[in-house]
Amino acid sequence: MSKGPGGHEPDHGDHTHPEVSGADASVEGVLAVMREHGGRVTSSRRILLGALFATREHRTAEELTAAVQAQLPDVHPSTIYRNLDELERLGVVVHSHIGHGPATYHLAASAHGHLVCEVCGSTVDVADTMFSGLARQAKADHGFTIDPHHFAVPGRCANCG
Amino acid sequence: MSKGPGGHEPDHGDHTHPEVSGADASVEGVLAVMREHGGRVTSSRRILLGALFATREHRTAEELTAAVQAQLPDVHPSTIYRNLDELERLGVVVHSHIGHGPATYHLAASAHGHLVCEVCGSTVDVADTMFSGLARQAKADHGFTIDPHHFAVPGRCANCG
DNA sequence: CTCTATGCAAATCTTTTGCACGAAC
DNA sequence: GTTCGTGCAAAAGATTTGCATAGAG
């Protein structure tokens, strides 16, 4: 959690932010973009973005809903889905389907791949360079440009393999 | 329900299996394996396998159900799911999750990866060899064994790139 | 005030499961 | 005759949508 000096509680209902730090700045930035696009800035959106920026890992809609509800109990899952949809339309988040189970969402800005263990569910972050060979070959053989920001590879990790 | 002697095959009338053609031989081979494992040989299983061997492309459970129902109208989708499950357990078929939408199934023998265009939704089948570099590197750097048949690589195809 | 976002319930869509009956061996 | 497979209905899990209203600008 990136709390600024002195700050400790996230819910300051109607409080102007004099200085925001790290992730908070990004959250406000995205909210500004949403407002520019005719959208409104709401608490659920601010908290959802906070959750997305807090951990750059993959999280399901259900997990994100729980995270938001921890601060705003009455937020409905459909609101999370609608907001994730909107954020995806704006290019802020992307989602992937990893093996079975629900889709996972994460920031589009986190440009790294993930290896996801199908057995224990653990994830390993890997550099984009790991996909450079695949990218080159896909381009050469099929004219296909792979998306390095939207990548989750299932398999078995060192412990479960 | 069983066709047995006197039944009708769409492709040929002679089916006393002195020399069955390619796919049919494989279908009967798989059925033999199922019987060895204590399973029964049923019409729906034979027709489902026929559909899988007929086109080696990936097909959804719904498409496969329709294909089977074309010859056996009363087959229930749940039967298809159960049979696909069993075939997967035997290693005959595998399934992948391509972008949104339902899972797609295909023969394990024709295992291949998928490139999915994020713009037009088209898919490109690619040889396993395309993932060998990635597989080796994931193994070496992280002890991770990737499963190249269980996911799709997103990106932009030659037309949309 | 105007228009968007939300909560809620119900609908969709895909896949799974319990149960009784019929088929394969 | 015993065991397995199937049809049917209903459930389960994830996501979407219609609608009235609360809330942002």
Q: Which two tokens stand for residue B54?
A: 């007929």
Of A97, A131, A158, the CB nearest to B134: A131
| Confidence at B24, pLDDT banded by 50, 70, 90 | low
Domains along chain A? 22-109 (1.10.10.10), 113-155 (3.30.1490.190)
Separation in Å, CA A21 to CA A7, A25, A26, A42, A148: 10, 6, 9, 20, 28
Q: Are B133 and A150 in contact (CB under 8 A)?
A: no
Question: What's the pLDDT at A39?
Answer: 95
Query: Beta carbon of B61 within 7 Å of strand D?
Result: no
Determine the nucleotide nearest to A31 by Cα–C1' distance.
D24
Residue nearest to nucleotide C14 (CA to C1'): B102
Least confident residue range of A142-151, B16-25, B28-37: B16-25
Closest residue in B to A147 (Cα–Cα): B155
Strand C close to A106 by CB, under 7 A: no
Residue B152, min C-alpha distance to chain A (Å): 8
Q: Is the CB of A41 under 7 A from strand D?
A: yes
Supply the pLDDT for residue A55.
80
Per-residue model confidence (pLDDT) at position A10: 40
* Both structure tokens of B152: 């799709």
Using the CB atom, is residue A72 less than 7 Å from strand C?
A: yes
Q: Contact A96/A104 with Cβ under 8 angstroms? A: yes
Nucleotide at minimal C1' distance from the B1 CA? C23
pLDDT at B8 over 50: no
Q: Which of B108, B103, B61 is nearest to B83 (CA)?
A: B61
